[in-house]
Structure 1
């Protein structure tokens, strides 16, 4: 999948495309006349975990939405190196508790993009749903209503929905926010396992423990990329003072 916008500089080379699952250059985006992202340039390496880190309002969720294809850039260039469309797991608060869905029905929604809302799931789809439920440890909750679950259980159901898409790119918005330490640790371990299995993971987070477990961090402040690299290199006291200090 390749989406082009106004050209800024040379396109990625074949070697770069083989290395990076996603590349973007001079990328800008926003909402109805309100700019949020300002000329971001970076690459997301394949088969790694990348954390988007920054204070509230820094543009993490907007960048994730652009990578997922649900927000259109206003300028710049975005390149996906191939594979299936990304699986996007929004924040838990974006999915209403009042929806009359069971856990299994919630996970099955991950197959709708390929099958459509009114088409029956195939045997392969049902196997993918079963596998996702088992992997997240919620197969025994399959008939429970989504609104009845604890925060950690509900988050696992939403991640299972993403896994059911069987994409090689998983995008998550604040997957551990509001969860207890045990639930956060379980999700962190799962993301590590997925990367080992060949999935590229990108997650927006303000949980510094989750960010430190990533392979790479992209640091955002006021919609601009102010740092990138291994967590040990970029998650430092001086960086925290620079990013979280008042504007």
Structure 2
């Protein structure tokens, strides 16, 4: 994979992205099970074949993210588990409510110690902190902008990991300049490549739809789902570091603006394709 190439969309990731975008219903009326035939049709629109859909659904069911059920007319389908719904709700704040830290807000430190006999939890803890956007300050000491505190606490509580972690909020007092320290704590070059890969793939899509009206519903759905599937990883890899501490011409802000514009332009148009399929 070249530096500016997007990672491939997997069937499992696209199914999760679909449920996040269109499969949750409203706050007062959660969506029921999505018929498997509808899932196959909707994932087929983004290039996933039927056997791959069925295999990915089975894996998501085993992981406790999807639960089998019946639609109102008795068809077999799959809905979100409560745990999956909570994960998607938590993700909304990062994915759609992109926020960057401001100078003076401080840093969140996560200091953990896991007994050797529970080392599997050490791996899980490191993995979750990385997914939340933490960088590594020292062995057993992870750091993130302070604004991710509530999400971090919620995640650790949900996974039963809170007892292994102490959280601290504070300021960086030296000795090296904070911008240089940030470049040690995070791999900024890798993050910049991820942002640029998103732009290389999806900015031309935005330009294409900006010049065309109306938008065909299936095309809007396809382009939006692929953009969302690519974008939703980025606000976790990049936790929204203060702009003053980032290199010049940092592509993160531009990538966020492109996704926001695609969301505005395509999301609701794509729903005009989804709803008849679900019905």
Q: Is TM-score (shorter-chain normalized) higher than 0.5? A: no
Identify the structure with the greater strand proportion. Answer: 1
CA radius of gyration, larger in: 2
Q: Provide the TM-score with structure 2 as the length reference.
A: 0.25
Query: Using CA pairs below 8 Å that are at least 6 residues apart, which structure has the higher relative contact order?
Result: 1
